[in-house]
Amino acid sequence: MSFPMSARMRSVATSPSPVPVVVEVSRGGMVESRHRGSVVVATADGRVLGSCGDVDLAIYGRSAIKPLQALAMVESGAADRYGHDRVALACASHGGERRHVSLVRDWLADLGLAPGDLECGAHLPSHEPSACALLRGGGSAGPEHNNCSGKHTGFLALARHMGCDVRGYVELGHPVQQAVLGILEEMTGLDLSDAARGRDGCGIPVLAMPLGNIALAMARLADPADQPERRQRAARRVVSAMASEPWLVAGSGRSCTRIMSAARGRIVVKTGAEGVYCAAAPDHGIGIALKIEDGNGRAGGVLMVEVLHRLGLLDDATRSALDDVAAPAVHNRRGEVTGHVRPAGDLPFRRLVD
């Protein structure tokens, strides 16, 4: 199924472009694997500043659009009532480190709820040392360890604030998801009533949206001047929370945390499953959305750093500090470096910032 771009989204392309190889994986002196991908860089007024691949590609935003979903909690007043200092956690795909889990439990307790009220399912922390520590201590994974537990707790805070049943908040017909849906439609400029839909890994509805419209939504997050005043305040707060607490958004060693920390508040980024990655640059009113065609997440961070650097949003010193994110080494089981994951080709993005 294809979706028309918003009337305010004007593509630089007049016809679909082939999806190029954007990241390659070397082993020894040979390229062993290649990843194709599409990228859109947009402004809040719908201009496409650069693109490659399929701008109109309909994708599920997955966890990369958590900052957009968090707008519902913030602009409703639920964040002030139940989680004024937890906005970054509501945007997180955290690693299940001790502080992440503790903050989720405390937030649930403030809501008069418990981990069992989370409908995201349970899995071991993705942060391996935390998973090992949990198992060594005789513990087992609960839903609070789920990387999406912060977002789900934010949904529960919104349900409490709305005075509706906290059960079933993951269903599209629930008032919480209807509030989120309305915001997604307004930020992307789309009518999503007929969009392809599915379930995310954590159980919430996912709706297919063109990559270009997701970039538009991220640009409006970066520069919400054309949005209602309440939305403007919420967008600025979400961006500020992520920029101020990048560790909460992901965790130790994670690309999101590394990029935001290195950028020192100038850029917020969010990764998602299946090779989706988004960014917002408030100083320049720019939104970025990318999708790795084969869904391999290892390529997403590499491509995001490359795009940010080519746009001039990362200076040379900041880019150098992110070398191990921009071109991570591939190791064998003996710890030897056998190759690298690195950008491929000459991406068509002009420098926007000197």
284-302: average pLDDT: 96
Beta bridge partners of 281: 286
The whole-number average pLDDT for the span 108-130 is: 97
Is the pLDDT reported for residue 11 higher than 70? no
- Region 42-61: what's the mean pLDDT? 95
Does the pTM surpass 0.85? The reply is yes
206-210, long-range: CB within 8 Å, 24+ apart, which pairs?
Answer: 206/60, 206/61, 206/62, 207/60, 207/181, 208/1, 208/3, 208/58, 208/59, 208/60, 209/3, 209/58, 209/59, 209/60, 209/61, 209/184, 210/2, 210/3, 210/5, 210/55, 210/56, 210/57, 210/58, 210/59
**Residue bearing the bigger pLDDT, 281 or 353:** 281
Question: What's the pLDDT score for residue 350?
Answer: 76
Beta-strand ranges (E) seen in 221-323 are 268-272, 276-281, 286-292
Identify the pLDDT of residue 180: 98
Confidence of residue 349 (pLDDT cuts 50, 70, 90): confident
Asked whether the predicted pLDDT for residue 4 surpasses 50, the reply is no
Among 20, 14, 60, 350, smallest CA distance to 188 is for 60
Task: Look at residues 120, 168, 160 and name the one whose alpha carbon lies nearest to residue 144.
Answer: 120
Per-residue pLDDT, 3: 33
Q: Which two tokens mark 332?
A: 């064998």
Per-residue pLDDT for 5 more than 80?
no
Residue 146, helix vs strand vs coil: coil
226-278 per-position pLDDT tens digit: 999 999 999 999 999 999 999 999 999 999 999 999 999 899 999 999 999 99
In this prediction, residue 354 carries a pLDDT of 60
Query: CB-side exposure of 226: number of CA atoms within 13 Å?
Result: 14
Per residue in 189-233, pLDDT (tens digit) is: 999 999 999 999 999 999 999 999 999 999 999 999 999 999 999
Name the CA dihedral angle for 187, 189, 194, 195, rounded to a multiple of 10 degrees: -60
The per-residue pLDDT for 9 is 41
- Single-letter amino acid, residue 330: V
Closest to 324 measured CA to CA, from 250, 262, 266, 280? 262
CATH of domain 21-343: 3.40.710
Give the model's pLDDT for residue 143: 98
Indicate if the pLDDT at residue 10 is higher than 90. Answer: no
What is the pLDDT of the chain when averaged over all its residues?
93
166-191 confidence digits (pLDDT tens) = 999 999 999 999 999 999 999 999 99
Amino acid symbol at 50: G
